[in-house]
């Protein structure tokens, strides 16, 4: 299901988070490690005020490890913030969140003083997977399509920490064109919302610039293509994505490229790095 974020939904989501915020000691913000800024919503910074925050860089298995490292350094500089790369389904990586919570809120999480945390993030970023791993049991529904998790719950992690599952849903902030494209590349905003061919061309151009070697290895070419459309054309032809008359099936090729990129088949790819910010020439209104 594709979420359509209407002003009414946004106002409700904001109100729900604002209501829970005073009741929590720490915020666990789930971001996509491949695009930690584009997968955040700046509103959260306003809502959390001075509350400590762990920025969890999830899906780090799909992200470029060197870029993830520079994101951790970037976020760790911010007051009251610690960043942690994780894979939400892996207990070994998720366990560090508990340790960090205790360190960042030292007077809580002890007998008689529950440490209260809230998981927040945009759709499909891995909130439910993370909550299930933290709880050690299946509590929240996990889906591969963006969908709204309803049904508010308080989860006792049985280690002095209580978790509010919902409301922690924020909408992706797509006022910035680049953010919109990056989110679309990962599938975080509904495929219906953007033109597949456009998104694939954006991905192709980005990969040519930042990941030429893995790209050449995956699609087996010797000389680099000269343009994004040439790259898409070559991929399509080599995979037999053609329509009558031997013309390229652009739609099918675009889907193939995005599917393989999202599955990590082109390698571990990050879509933005700290050096990209602040971005110039963008409509930030």
Ligand X SMILES: Nc1nc2c(ncn2[C@@H]2O[C@H](COP(=O)(O)OP(=O)(O)OP(=O)(O)O)[C@@H](O)[C@H]2O)c(=O)[nH]1
How far apart (Å, rounded) are the C-alpha atoms in residues 60 and 81?
A: 18
- The answer to whether 127 touches 150, Cβ cutoff 8 Å, is no
User: Nearest approach, Cβ of 73 to ligand X (angstroms)?
Assistant: 21
**From the DSSP assignment, how many helices (H) and strands (E) are in the chain?**
10, 8
**Neighbour tally for 153: CB within 10 Å:** 12
Secondary structure class of 282 (helix, strand, coil)? coil
- The answer to whether 197 touches 55, Cβ cutoff 8 Å, is no
Return the percent helix, strand and coil in the chain, to nearest 5.
45, 15, 45
Residue 166 in contact with Mg ion, rule: CB under 5 A: no
Residue with Cβ nearer ligand X (36 or 123): 123
Size of the site for Mg ion (CB under 5 A): 3
Contacted by 62, from ligand X, Mg ion, none: CB < 5 to 8 Å by type: ligand X
User: Nearest approach, Cβ of 35 to ligand X (angstroms)?
Assistant: 14
Residue 132 in contact with Mg ion, rule: CB under 5 A: no
Candidates 41, 68, 93, 128: give the one binding Mg ion (CB under 5 A).
Answer: 128
Residue nearest to Mg ion (CB): 128
* Cα 134 to Cα 119, 127, 153, distances in angstroms: 11, 10, 14
Helix (H) or strand (E) holding 34: none
Residue 124 in contact with Mg ion, rule: CB under 5 A: no
- The answer to whether 48 touches 20, Cβ cutoff 8 Å, is no
How far apart (Å, rounded) are the C-alpha atoms in residues 125 and 122?
A: 6
Contacted by 267, from Mg ion, ligand X, none: CB < 5 to 8 Å by type: none
Residue with Cβ nearer Mg ion (150 or 285): 150
Residue 273 in contact with Mg ion, rule: CB under 5 A: no
User: Nearest approach, Cβ of 198 to ligand X (angstroms)?
Assistant: 23
Residue 58 in contact with Mg ion, rule: CB under 5 A: no
Q: Which residue has the tokens 């990941």?
A: 211
Residue 133 in contact with Mg ion, rule: CB under 5 A: no
Contacted by 272, from Mg ion, ligand X, none: CB < 5 to 8 Å by type: none
Instruction: Give the CA count within 13 Å in the CB-facing half-sphere of 224.
Output: 14
Residue with Cβ nearer Mg ion (64 or 87): 87
Site string for Mg ion, 135-164 (x = CB under 5 A): --------------x---------------
For ligand X, the binding residues (CB under 6 A) are 58-59, 61-62, 87-89, 121, 123-129, 142-144, 146-147, 149, 169
Residues contributing to the site for Mg ion (CB under 5 A): 127-128, 149
């Amino acid at each position: 299901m594709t979420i359509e974020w209407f002003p009414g939904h946004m106002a409700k989501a904001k109100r729900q988070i604002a209501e829970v915020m005073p009741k929590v000691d720490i915020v666990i913000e789930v971001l996509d490690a491949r695009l930690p800024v584009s997968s955040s919503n700046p509103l959260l910074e306003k809502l959390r005020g001075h509350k400590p925050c762990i920025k969890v860089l999830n899906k780090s298995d799909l992200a470029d490890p060197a870029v993830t490292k520079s994101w951790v350094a970037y976020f760790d500089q911010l007051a009251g913030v610690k960043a942690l790369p994780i894979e939400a389904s892996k207990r070994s990586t998720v366990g560090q969140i508990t340790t960090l919570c205790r360190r960042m809120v030292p007077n809580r999480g002890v007998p008689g003083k529950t440490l209260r945390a809230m998981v927040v993030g945009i759709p499909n970023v891995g909130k439910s997977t993370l909550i299930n791993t933290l709880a050690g049991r299946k509590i929240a529904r996990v889906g591969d399509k963006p969908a709204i998790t309803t049904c508010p719950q308080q989860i006792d992690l049985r280690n002095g920490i209580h978790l509010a599952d919902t409301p922690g849903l924020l909408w992706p902030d797509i006022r910035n064109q680049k953010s919109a494209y990056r989110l679309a590349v990962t599938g975080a905003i509904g495929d219906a919302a953007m033109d597949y061919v456009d998104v694939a061309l954006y991905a192709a151009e980005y990969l040519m610039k930042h990941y030429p070697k893995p790209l050449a290895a995956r699609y087996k070419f010797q000389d680099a293509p000269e343009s994004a459309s040439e790259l898409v054309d070559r991929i399509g032809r080599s995979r037999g994505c053609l329509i009558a008359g031997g013309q390229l099936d652009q739609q099918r090729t675009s889907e193939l490229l995005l599917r393989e990129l999202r599955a990590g088949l082109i390698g571990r790819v990050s879509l933005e790095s700290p050096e990209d910010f602040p971005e110039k020439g963008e409509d930030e209104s």
